[in-house]
């Protein structure tokens, strides 16, 4: 079990807190709004009203022993900056910050945030990829120029095996898993000789330019 501190209990922060708590971790949630704290109080180990910008408040909820923290203070960039600094002063080294712009992300990265999250942009990118290429079921950017996507098996591949298709050589992508939609099962280490079906989807990883070539197959 790990200990997490969540500062800011809007939709993003509250969802993160509930998910981490549901996974069996010790979660301390903090917000300046009493009603936001009341909504989540029964779902986490600790919920308190207070400002994450104050080191003393963070220490009272146990930030000093936290494995990581998530900062989600909405549009208040000043609050996210000062909260991140206060968390670092408490000794928290793994800090994840929800940001609202590229400039906000750059500031937080300069302050030592482990990762910045831009939910609106990331959701828009996933949606754009899905509607641009009908066979894409899901899309996750893993890093600059490198992504993971779940795609429907193109009609021309149905009945053929991964070994026969030679995707790493022909398209420079790796098949991570095969998802059988009819049975609702995943094969994390796919059988290279098993024929693919038109009800399968493939989890593939690779550079964006190679995935784009793949997606144009239709």
* CATH code of 200's domain: 3.30.70.1450
Percent of the chain with pLDDT over 90: 67
Tens-place pLDDT, residues 14-31: 999 999 999 999 999 999
- According to the model, what pLDDT value does residue 37 have? 97
pTM: 0.70
Indicate the number of domains in the chain.
2
Q: Which of 126, 100, 93 is nearest to 8 (CA)?
A: 100
What would the two tokens of residue 198 be?
Answer: 């038109």
> Element (H or E) spanning 189, and its range?
none
Domain that holds residue 136: 122-215
The verdict on 106 and 180 lying in the same domain is no
Tens-place pLDDT, residues 69-121: 999 998 999 999 999 999 999 999 999 999 999 899 999 999 999 999 988 87
Helices (H), the chain: 11-22, 34-40, 55-60, 77-89, 102-110, 119-132, 162-165, 167-171, 208-215
The verdict on 112 and 164 lying in the same domain is no
């Amino acid at each position: 079990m790990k200990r997490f501190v969540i500062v800011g209990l809007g939709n993003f922060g509250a969802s993160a807190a509930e998910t981490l708590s549901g996974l069996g971790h010790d979660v301390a949630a903090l917000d300046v709004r009493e009603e936001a704290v009341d909504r989540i109080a029964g779902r986490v180990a600790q919920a308190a009203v207070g400002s994450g910008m104050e080191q003393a408040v963070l220490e009272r909820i146990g930030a000093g022993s936290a494995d990581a923290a998530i900062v989600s203070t909405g549009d208040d960039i000043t609050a996210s900056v000062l909260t991140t600094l206060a968390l670092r002063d408490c000794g928290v080294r793994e800090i994840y910050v929800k940001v609202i712009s590229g400039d906000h992300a750059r500031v937080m990265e300069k302050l030592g945030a482990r990762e910045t999250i831009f939910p609106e942009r990331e959701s828009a990118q996933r949606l754009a990829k899905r509607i641009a290429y009908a066979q894409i079921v899901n899309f996750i950017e893993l890093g600059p120029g490198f992504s993971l996507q779940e795609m429907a098996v193109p009609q021309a591949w149905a009945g053929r095996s991964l070994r026969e298709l030679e995707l790493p050589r022909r398209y420079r992508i790796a098949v991570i898993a095969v998802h059988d939609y009819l049975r609702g099962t995943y094969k994390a280490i796919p059988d290279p000789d098993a024929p693919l079906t038109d009800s399968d989807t493939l989890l593939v990883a690779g550079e964006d330019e190679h995935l784009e070539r793949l997606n144009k197959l239709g």
